[in-house]
Structure 1
Amino acid sequence: MAHRLSHRLPPRRSALRLLAGIGAVTLGAPACGPDKVAEGAAAAAPGPRMGAEWERHARTFMAWPALRSVWGADLRSVCEDIARVARAVAEYEPVVMLARPGQVAAARKACGRGVEVVPLAVDDLWARDTVPVFVEDDGKVTGVDLNFNGWGDKQEHSNDARVGRALLSQYGIPRRKAPLVAEGGSLETDGEGTLLVTESSVVNDNRNPGKSRDRVEAELKRTLGIEKVVWLAGVRGQDITDAHVDSLVRFTAPGVVLLDEAHPGTPADVWSRAADQAKAVLSEARDARGRPFEVIGLPQPDPARITGEGDDFVSTYINFYVANGAVFMPRFGDRGADSRARSILREHFPGRDVVPVRIDTIAAGGGGIHCSTHDQPGRPAD
């Protein structure tokens, strides 16, 4: 798996080496309502349903990086990256960029006329984690506020903690407060009742103190309409997210997943061992419909060939984003690996354009395209 410790302090996935004396790193024990329901999902029991990302989107939400105290001299270049992603996605579906009132003009200038910029107080660009997840319940879309707390109180995000309530109110979307703390990047679903989660990012006292895995699972099922949770160990304490699933394994269809795969010759570390553990779990697991998982590796680029800087550059292709008619993947500069990843994504998302986007500063700060986007299910307005 990609290195997840940013060499910059304190971007989102800041190095936690400062906490090294607190406890050893462990891998743990194995232990959006769309306009058209995915095939096989229509027969699901009444109640909420969290849709798959490949279902129709009404819009994509993003957030404008606000703080020089986080990004330092890289603030300008990370804004350029975010604007580049927004413009690319806006070719396929509506994009709403959330920006602090004093930064609206700069965001509009950078993003262009194809992106709607909405004044709303934000702290940073990680919309996947700060914007609520969406479910469909009785034909209506509801936003589930996951009570964002700065990835377990590792960073102060007072504005981002309020994004859920403010955004849903602004768009007139009903809000449901989740009975647990999590982030959108920690949840991966096939839209047919199966959820993939890393235990390290949710069953963790920095989010849900005192809650057992069984209790967290029950709350996820009840809140999101999930029937089967497949638990992956993840990695604790080595990145600010505690190893979100969206940089480890992703669905491309019910029963089919892409798994992050280290570049050949890369020394084994906690991330590659987490990927190995996930592969072992998935090889034995069944989804909510009783299907076995087909697991396909999505190899990382050669660290010597990427254009981004930093010893801990996040170079996984797994953090792709599926939009209406397109899939957006990072372009890292290793032409062979970039091309191979694009071919794999084309094979698994036929009929969609696969669009590479350069995101070197976002990746150096510890994230990717999926981390910076958040889909709202539904049909785009005419």
Structure 2
Amino acid sequence: MTVWPAETAPQERLWLAFPTGGYTLGETAADAHEARRMWADVAAAAADFEPVTVVVDPSQIAVATRYLRDDIETVVTPLDDAWMRDIGPTWVHDETAEGSGRSLRAVDWVFNGWGAPAWATWGNDSLVAQTVAATAGTPVVSSLLVNEGGAIHGDGDGTVLVTETVQLDAGRNPYATKQRVEAELARTLGARKAIWLPRGLTRDYEEFGTRGHVDMVATIPSPGTLLLHTQQDPAHPDFEVTRMLRDFFEGQTDASGRRFDIVELPAPGVLSDDEGPVDYNYVNHVVVNGGVIACAFGDPEADDRAAGILADAYPGRRVVSLDARPLFARGGGIHCITQQQPAQR
């Protein structure tokens, strides 16, 4: 039997991928510098708490050396993009191997560029999970489910959050049913209950979106507690979306039958950018040993309020906030570019 540990469980290291090309690096030297600096800043912040390894495309070795701190390890392998949460493996523990020091397993989902959109390439990224697992010395659990790490979230106690518009997306799993997906999550993650969100944030359904990643909406800092993104301005389309999601979660119980204690994480004040309504949220943070690397958005009042909520939700951990607007302009947040490797049991 496998168990998917909570993100708060002890970690061996944090993994990232270094930006390679395309829309992530942008069209100008200034755009490329902004992206590389952002990814490097997240890696450096995490490295203050635990070991960090960054996967680097062969074409970017010299550039990555200039941006990454000397104490950050690198692994060279071809990349299409740099969203490690989605292309990396999801690590689980094999309970039958606990105590042996070799309990860790790496679930390798099928990755097809978030549903095979015309603009994406994923031939290299689809192989990254196996490379990372091999580098970590972790046996692979192969899955035929098209899935991404940002599309699932667990509480370490058998509860898994998923979204109807992701796992049941015709571009990902055209023949899937909830029952089939749940059976695969039980096999790979040890899921005892899947909670199916009806949808994600508005911006996530635009051309370059993922169509409903849960890590932009909600996270479970401890069993029975849910941190929920909340848009408080009626002028933003997510005002209605986040209220609907709160109503939804109020009617749910987790794998152990608990109703959720819902803690709202209010959005910052900015409503839009040049592309339309933004999806700025504080849910998209990453937990590390002794810390939380959180998003900030140049809104001091909202940023400080969110940092305080996160500090309360993760007692004993130091919250480090980084301006994540360059990440969100490229389609994601801090959680999206990182993937934690749990410690062996």
Match of 1:346 among 311, 319, 334: 311
How many pairs align?
330
The answer as to 2:170 corresponding to 1:201 is: no
Q: Which residue of 2 aligns with 1:58?
A: 12
Q: Partners in 2 of 1:303 and 1:268 — Cα distance? A: 10
Residues 217-259 of structure 1, C-alpha deviations (whole Å, 9 max, x = no match): 1211122101011111014843521110000011011000111
Structure 2, unaligned stretches of length 5 or more? none
Match of 1:156 among 110, 121, 129: 121
Q: Which residue of 2 aligns with 1:82?
A: 39
TM-score normalised according to structure 1 size: 0.82
Match of 1:72 among 27, 30, 34: 27
Q: Once the two structures are aligned, what percentage of the paired residues are identical?
A: 35
Match of 2:209 among 240, 245, 248: 240
Q: Which residue of 2 aligns with 1:23?
A: none
CA apart distance, 1:315: 1.2
The answer as to 2:229 corresponding to 1:260 is: yes
TM-score normalised according to structure 2 size: 0.91
**1:59–1:377 CA contact under 8 A, matched in 2:** yes
Q: Which residue of 2 aligns with 1:290?
A: 257
SS in 2 for 1:151: coil
Structure 1, unaligned stretches of length 5 or more? 1-46
Moved more, 101-110 or 74-83: 101-110
What code does the residue aligned with 1:265 have? Answer: D
CA apart distance, 1:121: 1.2
What code does the residue aligned with 1:284 have? Answer: G
**1:185–1:244 CA contact under 8 A, matched in 2:** yes
Match of 2:104 among 137, 141, 144: 141
SS in 1 for 2:187: helix
Residues 266-321 of structure 1, C-alpha deviations (whole Å, 9 max, x = no match): 4252x3433223212211111111111111110011117x9x87544431111011
SS in 2 for 1:150: coil
| 1:9-48 aligned within 5 A | 47-48=1-2
Moved more, 168-177 or 228-237: 228-237
The answer as to 2:182 corresponding to 1:217 is: yes
Q: Partners in 1 of 2:187 and 2:43 — Cα distance? A: 33
Residues 125-184 of structure 1, C-alpha deviations (whole Å, 9 max, x = no match): 200000010110022111101111100001112111111122222332111111311000
Quickly say closer, same or farther: Cα 1:279–1:313, change in 2 above 3 A.
Answer: closer
What code does the residue aligned with 1:212 have? Answer: T
What code does the residue aligned with 1:247 have? Answer: M
Structure with the higher fraction of residues in strand conformation: 2
Moved over 3 A (4+): 235-239, 271-274, 308-314
SS in 2 for 1:149: coil
